[in-house]
Chain A
Amino acid sequence: NAGVMQNPRHLVRRRGQEARLRCSPMKGHSHVYWYRQLPEEGLKFMVYLQKENIIDESGMPKERFSAEFPKEGPSILRIQQVVRGDSAAYFCASSPQTSYEQYFGPGTRLTVT
């Protein structure tokens, strides 16, 4: 059973470009969570999704950030018009049910130049 997969592992974008981060949950997991780790800071919750639904986006910045988890395919975290302050490690986690143990992917490290 493969673990949580994230790609790309490293992503470099110029200011103003779009960044798309992908997360494939573990097999059988229908709950996906995104967390962000800014340099020298702790991990912060961003959004919680189930298939085709956003359940809790209380940690998402109000502008430029969006997330989806379609019926088929991976979950996508999309950042439009990236700025230097978006440079961070973005981690995805999945679980089989809500409030169960979350399993983390290796992360995507986004660098905005």
Chain B
Amino acid sequence: KQEVTQIPAALSVPEGENLVLNCSFTDSAIYNLQWFRQDPGKGLTSLLLIQSSQREQTSGRLNASLDKSSGRSTLYIAASQPGDSATYLCAVMFGQKLVFGQGTRLTINP
């Protein structure tokens, strides 16, 4: 069964800290992995997409890595800001569909 797990489920840090969110998946036969942000009651904002042949992607203060052999991805957020507070979702494309993790609820304290 293809499963995606995110750790931790919730994280609270002071503003300015660098932080890492973790995602693991059970099947290495993936097409791509995507990180999303979701604000309460809102839709999904795509942050980064890593193709299966890539090792990492960067966008501004965000960096995502992918290690297919170990079934892991990390999302690194540098110099966190209160506006980064949201739920971060990891989604892995197995075949034709995305399998989502439960998310990490991130709170950045001013």
Residues on A facing B (Cβ under 8 Å): 33, 35, 41-45, 48, 55-56, 59, 91, 93, 98-99, 101-107, 109
Q: Classify the secondary structure of B's interface with A.
A: strand
CA distance A55 to B100 in the complex (A): 20
Known: A33-B97, A45-B99. A104 touches B89 (CB 8 A): no
Is A103 a contact partner of B99 (Cβ separation < 8 A)? Answer: no
The total number of A-B Cβ pairs within 8 Å is 52
Is B101 a contact partner of A104 (Cβ separation < 8 A)? Answer: no
CA distance A101 to B91 in the complex (A): 11
Interface size class of B (residues with CB under 8 A): 20 to 34
Q: For the complex of A and B, list the 9 residue pairs with the smallest distance between their C-beta atoms, beginning with the closest.
A: A106-B43, A45-B97, A43-B100, A99-B31, A104-B44, A42-B102, A42-B100, A107-B43, A98-B96
